Structures are given as C-alpha cells and as structure tokens.
Amino acid sequence: MADTQEDKRRRRNRAAAAIGSLAVLVAALATVPWLLSDYGLALMINVMCYLVLTIAWALFSGTTRLVSLATSAFFGVGMYTVAMSIKVLPLYAAFVLAIGVGAALALVVGVLTLRLSGMFFVIFSFGLSEMIRELMVWWEINQTHTMGRYVFVPFDTTMIYEHLLGLAVLVFLAGWQLRRSRLGLALLVIGEDETVARQVGINVPFAKVAIFIVSAMFMTLAGALMAPRFGFINPNFAFNPLVSFVVVIMALLGGLQKLWGPVLGVIPLIILSEKLQTQFPFWYSVFLGLVFMVIVYFLPRGVTGLLEDAWEALGRPLELPRGLTGPLLDAWAFLSRPIYLPRGIAGAIEERWLKIMPRASEKR
C-alpha cells in the first residue's frame, strides 16, 4: 500500500497552509510590543508564560495521564538559578545553566518517582515543590543571610516577551512533533494501560522519564526568562504553588485532546484573574478557588459544553413539579456522575466541526 500522488499533494498543501498561517500568526504576535500599552504588554507576557507552562505540562500529563503538580518546582528552579548565577554569569549562560539544572532535577525526580501511580505521584510532585521552597528559604536565611535576590539586567519587557513567544513556538512544535512520533504513541499507550505498553515492547520508565525531562526543560526556561521581569525574587515568590494549580486548571479548561486546546484555557483565565486581582484584591484567592471548583465540577466540557446543555434544555418539554425531593435527587445523580478527563473548549469545537464536516471514514 502506498500513497497516491493525489494524497501526497493534498497533504503537502495542507502542511504548507498550516505552516504559513502559523508563521503569519507568530509574526503578528511579534509586533505586539510596539502596538500595545505597557499594561497590555504585561498581560501578553503573562499569557505567553502560562501558554508555555500549560503546553509543557500537557506534553507530560496529557499523554501519560499522571497529574503533575511540580510545575512550580521547575518554574521556580529556573527563576532562582538565574537569580543566583546572574552576578557571575552572562545572561544567556544563566539561561542555559537553568535548563541544565531543570533537566537534572527532572531526571532525578523522574527516576525516583515515575514508578508511583496516580494519586501518589500527584502528592509527591506537590510535596517536591514545597520541599524545594522550604529548603531555599532555609538556605537563604541560614547560609547566605539574604531574604531575596535582585535581578537587574538589560533585558526589558519587550525582550522577555519576544523570547517567551519564541519558546511558545518551540513548545508548540515539540508537541506537534510528539504526536507524530514513536515516543508520542508509546506515551498514549502508557497513559491508557501500562501492562499493555510493556507487552508491546515499550520501555515504560524510560519513555516517562524522557518526556518528563523535556517538559521540565520548557518550564525551567520559562521561569528563567521571567526572572528579569520581577527584579526582586525570594523563594516564596519563585516557588509559589499556585502556579502548579493554575496550569492544571488552564489545561483542563482548554481541553487536552487538541494541541491548541490550552490556548483556549490560558487566555480566559489570565483575563479573569487579572480582573479579579484589580477589582477584588483581597478576595482574589477565594474567587479563584471558586472558579476552579466550578470548572472541574460543573464544566467538564468547558464553557461551551454548558451553553450546549442550556440550549438543549430549552427544547425539552417542561416537567411537572415533583416536590422537593425531585431536584435533590437530580442534584445527587449529577454529582455522583463519574468525572471524565475534560475535553474542554477544544473538544466542544471539535464536536461542532465534525457535525459540519464529517470525517471521510464516517461518510461511507
């Protein structure tokens, strides 16, 4: 069996169109610093930073289904490595060092923990970032007698933004390539059934550690690039555990089925938390927590799923009142439904799209 000329030509055209539109998009995004206000640029830097973190998180967790809360550990390690080495190293050398430290940490953690399954891995990854944070606090107080570090370098917000944009393109390409590779397929099989993965000849621990390291390197570099943005860094700030949780929520809101799913999760949540932080600074964390709960519990298919359900409910005939127990029973049935891996906004869009344009195989 071989491709026909027609197939080949069509595939080449599609690839060219995809690369072309991506190039145009990236070029447009690269001009943002000259178009937006300082506030707008700051917002875009946040978007780019979380985009890198979320896609990098999805590289590992979306395929292996191991929920990692170690994002803040790698992000913080990147930031802190730059803060500690900036006085003796040139900026780019500090970035490279940060990637190296992140990769080494990921290797050690991966080898030690990736045999853990499910919940145990979640807890461990969370404990890891908290442990590193406490260690750094202890080190800074007792050994170096500093409460934090200054990062003053000629690396302004425009430079930070452009570098983050480049990194976002790289992580996107890595994810795109992963979906077309042996390793990507192996990770999908591992995510669904490890026993079967071993039985087709996949070296399960090796594959997991490999993707964990790749994912960690992107997170670390994102942290390193963000270090000059803040100027003053202390351990509690660099290893803020909230980063890990926000990244998970963004990925779940966007949906993990599609590579661009996280984009749809990052943008609304960044805007939302920006609004919350400016309008209700004291209630910010409470609101954010509520938003998380609402998403995970009530919007397993993302915001679009909610709208779809509402639309369907409008078409249904009214039901007669059944007293107080009716709604309570409904609520119970709803709450006790199993929660599936959210397909997010991307999943909803895909469903719509398939209704309009059925796949060739389904037409027959």
Partner 1 sequence: MAALLEVEDLRKAFGGLVAVNNVSLAVSAGEVLGLIGPNGSGKTTLLNLIAGTIRPDAGKIRMAGEDVTRLPNHLRVRRRINRTFQLVRAPPNMPAIGTVMAGVLYGAGARVRFKDAGYEAAGWLGEMNVLTKADRRFDQLTYIEQKRVELARALATRPRVLLLDEWLSGLSSSELEGGMSVVWSLAAQGIAVILVEHVMTAVRALCHRVIVMNAGSKIAEGRPEAVLRDAEVIRAYLGDDDA
Farthest-apart Cα atoms in the chain, separation: 75
- Going by C-alpha positions, the residue among 350, 347, 344 that lies closest to residue 251 is 344
- Answer whether 211's CB lies under 8 Å from 55's CB: no
> Under rule CB under 8 A, how many of the chain's residues touch partner 1?
22
- Answer whether 306's CB lies under 8 Å from 299's CB: yes
Q: Which of residues 204-223 bind partner 1 (CB under 8 A)?
A: 204
Question: Of 69 and 190, which has the nearer Cβ to partner 1?
Answer: 190
Where does this chain touch partner 1 (CB under 8 A) — which range of 19-27, 164-172, 188-196, 208-216? Answer: 188-196
Q: Does 7 bind partner 1 (CB under 8 A)?
A: no
Out of 158, 199, 279, 285, the only residue in the binding site for partner 1 (CB under 8 A) is: 199
Min dist. Cβ of residue 182 to partner 1 (A): 5
Task: Count Cβ atoms within 10 A of the Cβ of residue 59 and give its class: 0-12 exposed, 13-18 middle, 19 or more buried.
Answer: buried
CA distance 27 to 46: 19
Out of 8, 14, 87, 198, the only residue in the binding site for partner 1 (CB under 8 A) is: 198
Task: Give the number of other CB atoms < 10 A from CB of residue 45.
Answer: 21
Min dist. Cβ of residue 15 to partner 1 (A): 13
Q: Does 5 bind partner 1 (CB under 8 A)?
A: no
Q: Does 201 bind partner 1 (CB under 8 A)?
A: yes
Question: Of 199 and 285, which has the nearer Cβ to partner 1?
Answer: 199
Count CA atoms within 13 Å of residue 229 on its CB side: 26
Q: Does 117 bind partner 1 (CB under 8 A)?
A: no
Write phi, then psi, for 131 (nearest 5 degrees): -65, -45
- Going by C-alpha positions, the residue among 22, 20, 235, 197 that lies closest to residue 114 is 197
Where does this chain touch partner 1 (CB under 8 A) — which range of 21-29, 98-106, 175-183, 329-337? Answer: 175-183
Out of 13, 21, 117, 181, the only residue in the binding site for partner 1 (CB under 8 A) is: 181
Strand pairing class (232-233; 149-150): antiparallel
Q: Does 178 bind partner 1 (CB under 8 A)?
A: no
CA distance 55 to 259: 8
Question: Of 202 and 299, which has the nearer Cβ to partner 1?
Answer: 202
- Going by C-alpha positions, the residue among 141, 145, 132 that lies closest to residue 79 is 132
Sole residue written with tokens 């000059």 = 228
Q: Does 196 bind partner 1 (CB under 8 A)?
A: yes
Question: Of 159 and 341, which has the nearer Cβ to partner 1?
Answer: 341
CA distance 341 to 301: 9
Where does this chain touch partner 1 (CB under 8 A) — which range of 145-153, 179-187, 232-240, 283-291? Answer: 179-187
Q: Name the site residues for partner 1 (rule: CB under 8 A).
A: 1, 180-182, 185-186, 188-189, 191-193, 195-204, 361
